[in-house]
Amino acid sequence: MWIGIDDTDSINGGCTTYLVAELIKELKEYGVVGYPRLVRLNPTLPWKTRGNGAVAIQFGRKDKVERESKFPIAFLDGNLIFGFAVGKCEEEKADESIIKKVSKIVERLAWFKDPKTNPGFVVFNKPLSNDFYWGAVRGVLSQKEAKKEIERRKGFYRGYKNERGLIGATAAVSWEGKDFTFELIAYRDPEFFGKSRGIDDESVKKLDRECPHTFDNWDWKNDHNRIKPNSKGPVYYGIRGEDPSELMRGKELVKSEPVHEWVIFKTNQATDDHLARKQIAGVKPYESAIIEGKVCKAPVTIKGGHVIFVLEDKTGVIDCAAYEPTKEFRSVVRELKVGDLIECYGSVRKERERLTLNLEKIKILKLVKVKAKTENPLCPRCKIHMHSVGKGGGYRCRRCRAKASQKEAVFKEIPRKINLGFYEVPVCARRHLAKPLKRMKYPTFFTSNF
Ligand code: ATP
């Protein structure tokens, strides 16, 4: 059986991932199949609390598992908890008692008082097709569509308040997980919830240096500890990476208050699943896209330090923005020139008269040659440099009064400060879903040029 939960937290506390920890404790008599899942959905929605994350977990029959297939997935209530390889744990069907237990956890831990919190959970006995996931990570869905999907797949659901959580809960179960990473989430002792987090920065730098398959731990340029959330909830920190055993090693390196409990989630973070290749005319608000086009208006820096340029393709034009929080990424964007051919990765947040693509990374495909005037033209008769007549007026020889056009000056190509390839926003500005270049096996160019 698969259980999906979403929309239980509030800006004032709580975290939906924590319900997975509680669920594993409550359903002790069952075996966890694979890793619990933390699934990030459309990052542009205005009603999300923070990272638009939903969770899902599969349980099987514990008395019928092949013990040798187990691997550690969590540490809860002082015990190491194991998951069982998919196919090694016999399927289990959900019954009334399971639904009661899930309801009890949701009703105990969800922040019902927050008007933006609309919890929902789903239970399925069969896996879902992943269409619903793609709709939820790339588009905007309704509660009605979620219920239709649940009914079609013969699932059970319980929604609270406006029941929006059913969308994320269904999408989390429907994620097939072809490209994936892991996150080890460490939880605090409940007595520390809401208090500031004491995490030794030096130990996080060590983690970043010594665990090569982890990512987004520390922003070296901006001195930012990225494993530590700002929220008031139960999460102490999260270490993201490719390899669960390295995450457990990384946890030992982080110096902090004692970690009370932890869970390793399989996630769609860092996969770029939210991005679809599009032409400009096809980009809609609340969508994320990869667009190939030419810079048609050079970058300008506006109030607040945001850098904006205009991109065109054969279907239209769109503003592209590197906002102030993207820090040194803006220096790259400022170097773009009219005519450069690039791929832009990002999302359009809301409906505006002019759509703006909020950049997560760019790939430079072709750089135009940029020339600058180095000398005024020589007078062919007098062999001396001519003088400018004024803006746009060409040149004239002071001695013989001969004239020359603007084009006859001496131009030289000036080297571009950026190269072909990818450039991404720094760790401190990275979105959960954005695939870091480290995962794409492309070198980061920041160190070479900026
Ligand atoms: P977290 O804090 O766990 O990172 P979040 O708190 O930012 O996530 P939620 O509180 O879960 O986000 O709120 C997002 C809400 O939007 C949920 O109710 C979820 O079901 C819903 N939702 C998710 N994806 C979509 C979508 N594509 N279309 C419409 N609603 C969605």
Q: Give tens-digit pLDDT for 384-431.
A: 999 999 988 999 999 999 999 999 999 999 999 999 999 999 999 999
Q: What is the mean pLDDT of residues 247-273?
A: 96
Q: What is the mean pLDDT of residues 26-46?
A: 94
Q: What is the mean pLDDT of residues 15-38?
A: 94
Q: Is the CB of 1 under 6 A from ligand 1?
A: no
Please determine, for residue 136, whether its predicted confidence score (pLDDT) is greater than 90: yes
- Which residue type is seen at 236? Y
Q: What is the mean pLDDT of residues 172-188?
A: 95
Please determine, for residue 432, whether its predicted confidence score (pLDDT) is greater than 80: yes
Alpha-carbon gap, residue 96 to 379, rounded angstroms = 95
Confidence of residue 3 (pLDDT cuts 50, 70, 90): very high
- Counting atoms of ligand 1 from 1, which one is nearest the CA of 117? 10
Q: Is the CB of 118 under 6 A from ligand 1?
A: yes
Please determine, for residue 353, whether its predicted confidence score (pLDDT) is greater than 80: no
Q: Are 20 and 263 in contact (CB under 8 A)?
A: yes
Alpha-carbon gap, residue 172 to 157, rounded angstroms = 14
Structure confidence at residue 160 (pLDDT): 97
The pLDDT tens digits for 200-220 are 999 999 999 999 999 999 999
Q: Is the CB of 51 under 6 A from ligand 1?
A: yes
| Per-residue tokens: 264 | 């390793």
Residue 329's SS3 state is helix
Q: Is the CB of 50 under 6 A from ligand 1?
A: yes
Structure confidence at residue 366 (pLDDT): 98
Structure confidence at residue 231 (pLDDT): 79
Confidence of residue 349 (pLDDT cuts 50, 70, 90): confident
**Assigned architecture for domain 275-367+416-449:** Beta Barrel (2.40)
Q: Measure 123 CA to ligand 1 centroid, in angstroms.
A: 18
Strands (E), 232-302: 235-241, 261-267, 275-277, 287-301
Q: Is the CB of 356 under 6 A from ligand 1?
A: no
Which residues lie below 8 Å from residue 442, measured CB to CB, with a gap of 6+?
A: 421, 422
Nearest CA to ligand 1 atom 14: 48
Helix axes 131-138, 165-174, angle to 10 degrees: 130
The pLDDT tens digits for 355-367 are 999 999 999 999 9
Closest listed residue to residue 318, CA positions, set 368, 279, 273? 279
Structure confidence at residue 192 (pLDDT): 82
**Assigned architecture for domain 2-178:** 2-Layer Sandwich (3.30)
Strands (E), 66-139: 70-76, 79-84, 89-91, 120-124
**Assigned architecture for domain 182-267:** Alpha-Beta Complex (3.90)
Structure confidence at residue 274 (pLDDT): 98
Structure confidence at residue 230 (pLDDT): 83
Confidence of residue 182 (pLDDT cuts 50, 70, 90): very high
177: left (phi over 0), alpha (psi -120 to 50) or beta: left
**Of 45, 148, 284, which is best to mutate to test ligand 1, by the most ligand atoms within 8 angstroms of its C-beta?**
45
| Per-residue tokens: 143 | 């509660």
The pLDDT tens digits for 282-324 are 999 999 999 999 999 999 999 999 999 999 999 999 999 999 9
Least confident piece of the model among 22-36, 80-94, 265-279, 358-372: 80-94
Confidence of residue 63 (pLDDT cuts 50, 70, 90): confident
Q: What is the mean pLDDT of residues 78-103?
A: 88
Confidence of residue 447 (pLDDT cuts 50, 70, 90): very low
Tokens 């691997």 belong to which residue?
71
What's the pTM value of the predicted model, to 2 decimals?
Answer: 0.93
Confidence of residue 80 (pLDDT cuts 50, 70, 90): very high
The pLDDT > 90 percentage for the chain reads 83
User: Given CA atoms 84, 89, 95, 97 in this order, what sign does their dihedral have?
Assistant: negative
Alpha-carbon gap, residue 326 to 308, rounded angstroms = 12
Please determine, for residue 446, whether its predicted confidence score (pLDDT) is greater than 60: no
Structure confidence at residue 244 (pLDDT): 94
Q: Is the CB of 267 under 6 A from ligand 1?
A: no
Structure confidence at residue 450 (pLDDT): 31
- Which residue type is seen at 253? L
Structure confidence at residue 115 (pLDDT): 93
Q: What is the mean pLDDT of residues 42-60?
A: 92
Output the average pLDDT for the chain: 93
Structure confidence at residue 216 (pLDDT): 96
Alpha-carbon gap, residue 446 to 112, rounded angstroms = 45
Q: Is the CB of 185 under 6 A from ligand 1?
A: no
Confidence of residue 87 (pLDDT cuts 50, 70, 90): confident
Tokens 């920041």 belong to which residue?
446
Structure confidence at residue 93 (pLDDT): 84
Structure confidence at residue 191 (pLDDT): 85
Structure confidence at residue 321 (pLDDT): 97
Confidence of residue 122 (pLDDT cuts 50, 70, 90): very high
